[in-house]
Amino acid sequence: MAIADNKSASDGKVWGLFKLPFRSSNSSASSSQYASQQQQYNTRADGSNANASNSSSSVSSVARSLLRTRRRLKLDPSNKLYFPYEPGKQVRSAIRIKNTSKSHVAFKFQTTAPKSCFMRPPGAILAPGESIIATVFKFVEQPENNEKPTDQRNRVKFKIMSLKVKEPMDYVPELFDEQKDQVAVEQILRVVFLDVERPSPALEKLKRQLAEAEAALEARKKPPEDTGPKIIGEGLVIDEWKERRERYLARQQVEGVDSL
């Protein structure tokens, strides 16, 4: 029995000696495997975070691009320019531009055909609530190879841009170059040709707007009324008191001659 017990004890020691190295090797292998898995997880997490940040930034940029800028101007017509269809002639259109914001706004006109189209005025600064009727000139080319008017109108595009300014100032086109980030595209205008031989509400409205634009242009050409003293000649100022004195002296001279 003692021999058997010693043998079993020795066997246990032998098995124990064999088991210990396997346990340590398994534990070290499992720890290294865990470390590698943890590193891979961290790498994946960092990559997912980077992808998430990139995706969020791209989504935010797309969202900003899709957000519609609040318009500062009201256009009439809102998205079209009506021209009488007269091939071989320079025709006119008109558009009313009104500042609907609470600050001064500069507007600028652009076209894809600057050689054959222009606006008068090409730009201006409008006070809050102020409006102006701009005239657009366009040369209508002769149709080629049975070309339709719809084919001609699709060649040219017009664009109205706006820029908020802090205070009243003189308009210069360089304002839009200096503050490109603040420039907003108000509208892309499409060309519509009207038959001059066929009366229509659009043609009648165009005639009225052109007449208003001409009247406003003539009013701007007139010099402002001078409410100050009258200036006759160079350096001679005659006011009401001096006019009365001169008339009085003239009457005195006439009465003196008559008495003599």
Domain boundaries, the chain: 71-219
CATH C-level class of 71-219: mainly beta
Determine if the pTM surpasses 0.85. Answer: no
Query: Tokens 């269809």 map to which residue?
Result: 85
- Dig out the tokens for 191 from the structure: 């060309």
pLDDT tens, residue order, the chain (260 aa): 444 444 444 454 444 444 444 444 454 455 555 556 656 655 555 555 555 455 555 545 444 444 455 789 999 999 999 999 999 999 999 999 999 999 999 999 999 888 889 999 999 999 999 999 999 999 988 887 766 666 666 678 899 999 999 888 889 989 999 988 999 999 999 999 999 999 999 999 999 999 999 998 888 777 766 665 555 554 445 566 677 777 777 777 656 545 54
Classified as helix, coil or strand, 67 is: coil
CA-CA distance, 200 to 3, in Å (whole number)? 126
Beta carbons within 8 Å of 79's beta carbon, 6+ residues apart: 187, 188, 189, 190
Other residues' Cβ atoms within 10 Å of the Cβ of residue 183: 17
CA-CA distance, 20 to 16, in Å (whole number)? 6
pLDDT score, position 24: 47
Query: Tokens 């409006």 map to which residue?
Result: 131
